[in-house]
Amino acid sequence: MSLNYAFSFSVFLLALVILNIYFFYTLNTIDRKSPKFNVPNLRFDLTSSVFKDIYEYLNYLPSQYKNKNSKFIKIQKSLVSSFNSSKNDNPASVWDETDKWISNQSLFPHENGVGGKILHALQSSQIALVDNALKGTQLKLLLLIEGKQKVYFKPKRYNLDHVIKGNIYAGFDRHNSEVFAYYLAMVLNFKWIAPSVIRYIHLDKDIVPVATSGLRRTMVKNDNGALCIYGKCFYCKVNETVCPDSKGQVEGAAILFLDKTFKVYKSPWRRSYSSKKMEWETDNDFCTKVRGTLSTKRLLNLIDVAIFDFLIQNGDRHRYEVYKEQIILLDNGKGLGNPLVDELDILAPLYQCCIMASSTWQHLEIISGGSLTETVKILSSFQGHKLATEEHFRAVERRLLKIYATVQYCIGRYGSSKVFKSGF
């Protein structure tokens, strides 16, 4: 009896020690004032358990991920300095600077105020020629502006507060998502993206006089007698036109045309665009197969892109373009659809592979506590346009917390030394 008693007492002491360790860990890691995140209704498939684990980590995130980090102040000041210098007496002269730009860190120069000058030139340069941009699934125009620079123009289809319901890739492209994505990429330090800005174009004054015959053939008058454009593209229809507002203007995103040769690849995590499930949606060991076909550098790049897409909820990146061995963030118009929905499977490359570039993680850690969207607002204010509703800004911050939780999930499974990769 004494032996059994001693054994039972030892087990009791061990349990008591474990409970105390857990208690003190909880006190030091949980922000007790923060609300609980409820796990959404999930399908009972292989992914469900992963999502539940990530939401569990979300509820126990250390407070440092919910507060501002003073290390970001210097970076924010640098970004503000670069984009708060849009005044330029000769907008076309900025293209001389970009033509000479050679770098393995970014597509275009951003330092010394060049970033703001590029956006000012996109927004204000005189238009010399307008044509249909034939490539793509949706209406966009190709502009030739002074300085012989080409620009894509994606017209406005929805008001900012319009909510896109349905599939993650539903609806027309959102012009504001293209511009929001550009500023977001700057804050995230993802410099492989084409500059983009909101621009207003007067249809009768700016487009009609310099329109090609091909563009003119895709113009029709609406019931009010206003000239509208339906364009020429894969999904363009004569009954889905873009018409000017009461001032005769069309609002849209002016996106710098990248006159470069890209290598195009299918994304391993592409969607089927039907009820059919892709392999990555049913196999949580899918990354093991991907590792056998892609370099670690490319895989880390895809994970960066997944993080970027998750923040704006762009679930339409079925392929990706590569320049100088870097993925270019093109076609970001499917973001900002529904601020109430967070499709966590956009992060599949992260939670299935559970690796991340150390430099990416270090930067993500310092844009916490609202600094990310605060900086997007500041930078976009220099061009004088609101890019999203407050609901969308709050949604981006909410999704950033979920990215932190996903990384914590990976650390919990494999340890920091296996998750973070240096030298890439």
Residue 42 is predicted with a pLDDT of 44
3-class secondary-structure state, position 39: coil
Q: What is the pLDDT averaged over residues 185-203?
A: 97
Q: Give the model's confidence band at 260: pLDDT under 50 very low, under 70 low, under 90 confident, else very high.
A: confident
Whether residue 242 is predicted with pLDDT greater than 90 in this model: the reply is yes
CA distance 114 to 257: 17
> What does the DSSP assignment read for 4-28?
HHHHHHHHHHHHHHHHHHHHHHHHH
Report pTM.
Answer: 0.89
Reported as a single tens digit per residue, the pLDDT across 349-372 is 999 999 999 999 999 999 999 999
3-class secondary-structure state, position 193: coil
Residue 384 is predicted with a pLDDT of 87
Active site residues: 316
Of the two residues 33 and 212, the one the predictor is more confident about is 212
Whether residue 420 is predicted with pLDDT greater than 50 in this model: the reply is yes
Q: What are the residue ranges of helices labelled H in 189-272?
A: 213-216
Residue 213 is predicted with a pLDDT of 97
Most confident of 19-23, 140-144, 255-259: 140-144
Whether residue 35 is predicted with pLDDT greater than 70 in this model: the reply is no
The continuous run of DSSP H or E covering 338 comes out as: none
Whether residue 415 is predicted with pLDDT greater than 90 in this model: the reply is yes
- Give the chain's count of helices (H) and strands (E): 15, 12
Reported as a single tens digit per residue, the pLDDT across 367-382 is 999 999 999 999 999 9
Whether residue 125 is predicted with pLDDT greater than 50 in this model: the reply is yes
Whether residue 22 is predicted with pLDDT greater than 50 in this model: the reply is no
